[in-house]
Amino acid sequence: MLDRFKTICSIDGTSGDESAVRDYIRSNITADEVTVDNLGNLIVFKKGKKTPENKIMLAAHMDEVGFMVTDVTEDGFLRFGAVGGVDPRVVIGRAVRFKNSTIGVVGTKATHQLSADERKKAPDFTEMYIDIGASTRAEAEKLVSRGDTACFDSDFFSFGDGFIKGKAIDDRAGCLIMMDMINSELEYDMWFAFTVQEEVGTRGAKAASFTVAPDIALVLETTTACDIAGVGGDKRVCQLGKGCVVSYMDRSTVYDRELYKLAFETAEKLGVPVQTKTVVAGGNDSGAIHVSRSGVRTCALSVPCRYLHSPSCVIKQSDYEATKALAAAMANACAVL
Amino acid sequence: MDITSMLRLLTEKTGVSGDEFSASRAAAQLLSEYASEVEVDVFGNVTGFVRSGSKNVRTLMLDAHIDQIGMIVTYIDDSGFIKVGACGGLDMRTMLAQSVTIHGKQEISGVVCTLPPHVSSDHSKVPEIGEISIDIGMTKEQAQQVISLGDRVTVNSWFRRVGKLVSAPSIDDRSGVCVILRALELLKERTLKYDLAVCFSAQEETGERGVKQAAFRLAPDECIAVDVSFGRTPDSEEHETALMGSGAMIGASAVLDREMTERLKALAEANDIPYTIEVMPSSTGTNADAVSISRGGVKCCTVSIPIRYMHTAVEVIDPTDIEAAARLISEYVGGDSNA
């Protein structure tokens, strides 16, 4: 499982530039219908033993947060902006990777060269640049152009008591769960949407849910866990090791109450750990899907993840397994709801 | 071994101040190809001698520091998160969500905690070292089995080619070690005007401490301290930085010997070695400050290499500047060809 996680997370797919992720998924699934829509969503239909009463769609997004080059300076440095919500403090001092394998590092002048006040203030994206080792604009433009995208060039490892660290676990974890479902024998016919552009406003999911037109959608995600040192009580939002996260509400969706309860009942029957969030925070493709067409009953099942949108997303394997088990069981339960 | 391979080998070792032995051993092995009496002393300093074979020559110390900045474990909290202190001047702006290694009973991977943008809004605050914690995915009991207070911590990064430049952690000052080793290679076929005492010193980043003991023991007449300095970035001052690829930076400072500075300049000119002058009015912030007042006084100068993003895990260097600095030192030391 770890090798597959490492492989899929190491593929670069900034929002709007997901083709490498899509190609990987496409070549690693066997399904009955596979289409790519105009936005780049990968829509997959897999026949099960039975055709359910409700049309079920599972969704996970292929894209990840990253960067886009906005300017190339005269002295060969790249100005850039974030694609998706990224804290600039997790970008400075890191390496990034372009699609043509050009490597850059992100920085400013050295800490020694800053005033005491400057040292206390983290630079914004407008104050940093990517250094690709070019000394002129012409030299830089041989490798990178305005509009090119880059991702974190970050390590992947397992650590501690069953934890995994890597970039883009948000939401390749959801993609992996769906790939495994597609490659397994299904009880019911299912639709799967591997969506694009989630990180820039759940845009791919809008189109995908229109096309699939499901009755019920299950969104497989990673979600904000803040169970770290110095954060207590409800502020932890959700916790690693406590199982799959089922949301009742986030910033984009008020979730279907019946499905929410069904998720907990199903988890209990399965003996799978399940939790909810203690803060109304974040959002995901549900926001687009649940208001699609005349409305779609929607449930989000998430792997709790620390340090989202950084080069170091952290999840616990047992939570991934819990989410995977609950997703399969919920899909079947929703089929006959 | 070419310069880039040597730099890669040395930057893949770790040696946070006071715990330099992994890097020290690797540097000692490389040094023993050129020098005699190579040893790693109790402080972690690597020393060795290259003798001229002539009598009545002066002893020149060639120094670069072997240690690197990092962190040190100060506390394991009840949930198993690790608190740390700084070893050297970390760039705290770069620490959140960093992937790190704790050098405990075994190498333990972890991540510096941060809150995601979904629940945080002030992204301009730079945490102080006491405010950060490391997530190692263990309970306190599990952590205590493998981590002790005082263990060193490094930020994970690796050797990368960045266009014609190279990025790695601890280029400050493993690149200086490379300069000296390369200079010794260049001197192989030449007579020496000095007896050389080579020192790859410990604990520079925590206050130029290792070199004090080494300089006392080696008792040189002169010293060239090889360290890194500031490479040009778009937001830096031209007069405080050197362009990448502009060669060796020759130091000029109140604490440096003016004749050495002038002689290095003249040698660079005479031998077409690219160089710039690095002016540091009151002090250099390098080992030269300490060595110059060792015992009864030592004539010192600095030869530096420009790097970008100093004290981050992605320091950047131009390998041609290492070559230029090595050539300059070899001209300072070398006499006739004995080939």
Measured N-to-C along each axis, helices A2-10 and A19-26 cross at an angle, to the nearest 10 degrees, of 140
**Are A196 and A122 members of one domain?**
no
**Are B16 and B90 members of one domain?**
no
**Are B54 and B81 members of one domain?**
no
**Are A44 and A100 members of one domain?**
no
User: Which CATH number characterizes residue A254's domain?
Assistant: 3.40.630.10
User: Which CATH number characterizes residue B51's domain?
Assistant: 3.40.630.10
Tell me: pLDDT of A320 over 60. Answer: yes
Out of B155, B179, B201, pick the residue that ends a domain. Answer: B155
Count the neighbouring beta carbons within 10 Å of the beta carbon of residue A45.
Answer: 16
Domain count for chain A, please give it.
Answer: 2
CA angle B214, B35, B317 (to 5 degrees): 75
Give the pLDDT band (50/70/90) at residue A106: very high
* Residue A159 maps to a domain: no
Out of B106, B128, B155, pick the residue that ends a domain. Answer: B155
**Are B248 and B212 members of one domain?**
yes
User: Which CATH number characterizes residue B79's domain?
Assistant: 2.40.30.40
Give residue-wise pLDDT tens across range B50-98.
999 999 999 999 999 999 999 999 999 999 999 999 999 999 999 999 9
Give the pLDDT band (50/70/90) at residue A253: very high
Q: pLDDT > 70: what percent of chain A?
A: 100
- Say whether residue B212 is in contact with chain A using an 8 A CB cutoff: no
Q: Please name the member of A160, A224, A312 whose beta carbon is closest to the beta carbon of B118.
A: A224
Output the pLDDT for position B337.
76
Mean residue pLDDT of chain B comes to: 96
Residue of B113, B159, B230, B278 to mutate, testing the A interface (most A Cβ within 10 Å of its Cβ): B113
**Are B151 and B21 members of one domain?**
no
**Mean per-residue pLDDT, A144-156:** 97
Contact assignment for A316 to B137 by CB distance below 8 Å: yes
Output the pLDDT for position B336.
80
**Mean per-residue pLDDT, A258-273:** 97
Residue of A79, A83, A92, A279 to mutate, testing the B interface (most B Cβ within 10 Å of its Cβ): A92
Tell me: pLDDT of B218 over 70. Answer: yes
Rounded CA separation B311/B308 (Å):
9
Output the pLDDT for position A1.
83
Mean residue pLDDT of chain A comes to: 97
Give residue-wise pLDDT tens across range A46-90.
999 999 999 999 999 999 999 999 999 999 999 999 999 999 999
Count the neighbouring beta carbons within 10 Å of the beta carbon of residue A239.
Answer: 17
Taking only residues 83 to 102 of chain A, the set having a beta carbon closer than 8 angstroms to any beta carbon of chain B reads: 85-90, 92-95, 102
Contact A70, A146 (CB under 8 A): yes
Range of the domain at A87: 66-152
Contact assignment for B230 to A311 by CB distance below 8 Å: no
* Residue B188 maps to a domain: yes
**Are A83 and A56 members of one domain?**
no
Rounded CA separation B324/B304 (Å):
10
Rounded CA separation B188/B7 (Å):
20
ipTM over 0.85: yes
Amino acid at B74: T
Out of A129, A152, A175, pick the residue that ends a domain. Answer: A152
Give the pLDDT band (50/70/90) at residue B339: low
Contact assignment for B124 to A153 by CB distance below 8 Å: no
Residue of B84, B154, B286, B312 to mutate, testing the A interface (most A Cβ within 10 Å of its Cβ): B312
**Are A47 and A114 members of one domain?**
no
A74 in active site: no
**Closest-CA distance of chain A to residue B319, Å:** 12
* Residue A94 maps to a domain: yes
* Residue A162 maps to a domain: no
Tell me: pLDDT of B335 over 90. Answer: no
**Are A181 and A50 members of one domain?**
yes
Out of B94, B129, B155, pick the residue that ends a domain. Answer: B155
User: Which of A33, A53, A118, A198 is an active site residue?
Assistant: A198
Contact assignment for B118 to A281 by CB distance below 8 Å: yes
Q: Please name the member of A105, A160, A279 whose beta carbon is closest to the beta carbon of B162.
A: A105
CA angle B208, B211, B215 (to 5 degrees): 140
- Say whether residue B86 is in contact with chain A using an 8 A CB cutoff: no
* Residue B83 maps to a domain: yes
Contact assignment for B314 to A105 by CB distance below 8 Å: yes
* Residue A158 maps to a domain: no
Contact assignment for B314 to A106 by CB distance below 8 Å: yes
Q: Please name the member of B91, B135, B139 whose beta carbon is closest to the beta carbon of A93.
A: B91
Q: Which of B322, B309, B25 is nearest to B186 (CA)?
A: B322
**Mean per-residue pLDDT, A168-175:** 98
Output the pLDDT for position B130.
96
Taking only residues 203 to 262 of chain A, the set having a beta carbon closer than 8 angstroms to any beta carbon of chain B reads: 224, 226, 228-231, 235, 237
Out of A121, A152, A183, pick the residue that ends a domain. Answer: A152
Hey, is A260 helix, strand or coil? helix
Q: Which of B296, B283, B286 is nearest to B216 (CA)?
A: B296
* Residue B200 maps to a domain: yes
**Are A174 and A265 members of one domain?**
yes
Contact assignment for B123 to A89 by CB distance below 8 Å: yes
* Residue A205 maps to a domain: yes
Contact assignment for A92 to B94 by CB distance below 8 Å: yes
Range of the domain at B275: 3-68+169-337
How many helices (H) and strands (E) chain A has is answered by: 9, 17
Contacts of B285 in chain A (CB under 8 A): 112
| Bridge partners, A217 (sequence order) | A57, A298
User: Which CATH number characterizes residue A99's domain?
Assistant: 2.40.30.40
Output the pLDDT for position B120.
87
Contact assignment for A309 to B117 by CB distance below 8 Å: yes
**Are B203 and B269 members of one domain?**
yes
Closest Cα in chain A to B119: A281
* Residue A161 maps to a domain: no
Q: Which of B206, B233, B228, B225 is nearest to B310 (CA)?
A: B228
- Say whether residue A33 is in contact with chain B using an 8 A CB cutoff: no
Output the pLDDT for position B338.
67
pTM listed for this prediction: 0.94
Cα→Cα distances A322→A188, A244, A298, A304, A316, Å? 21, 6, 19, 11, 10
**Are A121 and A76 members of one domain?**
yes
Contact A310, A194 (CB under 8 A): no
**Are A178 and A201 members of one domain?**
yes
**Are B248 and B199 members of one domain?**
yes
**Mean per-residue pLDDT, B20-47:** 96
**Are B186 and B306 members of one domain?**
yes
**Are A177 and A310 members of one domain?**
yes
A·B CB contacts under 8 A: 221
Give residue-wise pLDDT tens across range B291-314.
999 999 999 999 999 999 999 999
